[in-house]
C-alpha cells in the first residue's frame, strides 16, 4: 500500500509523508493503521496551522481554510513546520476534541498518533524532545469486554441453515470461535493458510507477526462442508478462503453484517461484534482453566497485560455464581 498523497491534497505537516512511509516499510503497519494515523495527524496538522495563526477551528482544523498568504489569496496554506509543535498546542487540540464530545478512547488514540509522529521527529533530529509526552491521555472508564455465554455461542453456531450461504457462515463462525482470530485476520485468510491434517491455521497478525492457531473437530467439519461451496463460487483464481457468492474475498464489513444477521436468527439480544467472539473464545478458555500465557499466544497479544483483561471477566462470572449459589451471599 502506498501512503503517498495526491498532488492536489497536500499533507498539512512537513515530514508526515515520510513518517507514514516509515510506518509502512520499517514497522509493517497495516492498511488500517496507516489510514488512521494519516487521518488523525492531518486533523492535528490543520488544527495546528490554524491555532498558530490565531484562526479559530475545531479539532479537525475546520476554519483553517481561512488562512491565506496575504500576497496570494488563492494559494493553499503551507504545511506546518513540526518544530512549531509544543505542549500548549497539543493541550489546545485535546481541549477541542473534548468540546466536540469525542470519547476518551478516541482522544487517546489521536494523541498516541501525535506522540508517535513526534518520537519519529526526535529520531530524525528534527526535535530534541517529544512535546506530546507532556500531555496525558484522558482517563477512560474501565469496562469489561463484551462476550457471549457458552449457551449463546451454541445457539449462534446452530443458526445457519444448510444452504450454500449457511454453510459458509457456519464455517466462518465456527473458525472464529475456535481460534479467537481478529476480524481482519479471519477475512485475510487464504486457502493455503489452513492445514486440515494438523488442524492448524496460519495467521498474519498485527505487525505482520505470524502465528499458528489450532482448531477443533467441529470447526474442521464446518470448514470441510464449506469447501464445495467455495469451489462453486470461485470464477477466477482467488487465494481468499472465505468468499462472497460473487467469488470475492469476504470483507470485514461483510463479516460484521453476517454476524449481526445470525445473532438475530439465534434470538440473541446483544450487540456483538466479531471481537466479542474473540473475547468469548478467551473467556471460555480461561473459565475452563487454560493458562493465561497460552491464551496470550493463541490471541497473538504482544503484552500479557492485554490478555489479563479477561481475568476481570472471569472474576465477574465467579462473583455472579457465588451470589446465586452461596446460602449467605
Catalytic residue among 5, 109, 133, 206: 206
Please count the residues of the chain.
329
Catalytic residue among 38, 278, 279, 284: 278
Chain position carrying cell 470447526: 219
What is the residue-wise DSSP string for 246-276? TS-BPPHHHHHHHHHHHHHHTT--S---HHH
Catalytic residue among 67, 167, 182, 230: 182
For 213, the enclosing helix (H) or strand (E) is strand 210-214
Catalytic residue among 109, 249, 256, 301: 301
Is 182 one of the catalytic residues?
Answer: yes
Do the Cβ atoms of 274 and 255 come closer than 8 Å? yes
Is 206 one of the catalytic residues?
Answer: yes
Catalytic residue among 109, 275, 309, 312: 275
Is 226 one of the catalytic residues?
Answer: no
Burial class (CB in 10 A: 0-12, 13-18, 19+), 288: exposed
Is 60 one of the catalytic residues?
Answer: no
Catalytic residues: 182, 206, 275, 278, 301, 310
Amino acid at each position: 500500500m502506498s501512503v503517498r498523497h495526491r498532488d492536489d491534497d497536500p499533507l498539512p505537516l512537513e515530514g508526515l509523508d515520510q513518517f507514514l512511509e516509515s510506518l509502512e516499510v520499517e514497522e509493517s503497519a497495516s492498511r488500517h493503521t496507516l489510514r488512521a494515523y494519516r487521518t488523525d495527524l492531518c486533523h492535528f496538522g490543520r488544527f495546528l496551522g490554524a491555532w498558530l495563526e490565531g484562526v479559530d477551528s475545531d479539532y479537525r482544523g475546520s476554519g483553517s481554510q481561512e488562512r491565506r498568504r496575504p500576497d496570494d489569496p488563492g494559494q493553499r496554506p503551507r504545511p506546518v513546520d513540526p518544530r512549531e509543535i509544543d505542549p500548549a498546542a497539543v493541550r489546545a487540540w485535546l481541549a477541542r476534541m473534548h468540546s466536540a464530545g469525542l470519547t476518551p478512547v478516541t482522544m487517546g488514540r489521536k494523541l498516541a498518533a501525535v506522540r508517535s509522529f513526534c518520537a519519529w521527529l526526535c529520531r530524525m533530529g528534527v526535535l530534541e524532545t517529544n512535546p506530546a509526552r507532556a500531555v496525558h491521555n484522558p482517563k477512560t472508564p474501565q469496562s469489561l469486554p463484551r462476550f457471549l455465554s457458552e449457551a449463546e455461542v451454541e445457539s449462534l453456531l446452530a443458526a445457519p441453515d444448510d444452504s450454500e450461504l449457511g454453510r459458509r457462515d457456519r464455517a466462518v463462525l465456527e473458525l472464529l470461535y475456535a481460534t479467537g482470530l481478529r476480524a481482519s485476520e479471519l477475512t485475510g485468510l487464504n486457502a493455503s493458510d489452513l492445514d486440515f491434517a494438523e488442524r492448524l491455521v496460519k495467521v498474519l497478525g498485527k505487525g505482520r507477526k505470524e502465528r499458528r492457531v489450532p482448531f477443533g473437530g467441529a470447526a474442521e467439519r464446518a470448514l470441510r462442508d464449506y469447501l464445495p461451496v467455495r469451489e462453486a463460487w470461485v470464477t477466477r483464481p482467488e487465494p481468499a478462503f472465505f468468499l462472497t457468492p460473487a467469488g470475492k474475498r469476504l470483507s470485514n464489513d461483510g463479516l460484521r453484517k453476517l454476524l449481526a444477521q445470525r445473532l438475530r436468527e439465534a434470538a440473541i439480544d446483544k450487540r456483538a461484534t466479531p471481537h466479542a467472539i474473540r473475547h468469548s473464545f478467551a473467556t471460555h478458555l480461561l473459565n475452563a482453566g487454560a493458562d493465561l500465557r497460552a491464551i496470550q499466544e493463541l490471541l497473538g497479544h504482544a503484552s500479557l497485560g492485554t490478555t489479563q483483561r479477561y481475568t476481570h471477566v472471569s472474576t465477574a462470572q465467579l462473583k455472579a455464581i457465588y451470589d446465586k449459589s452461596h446460602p449467605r451471599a
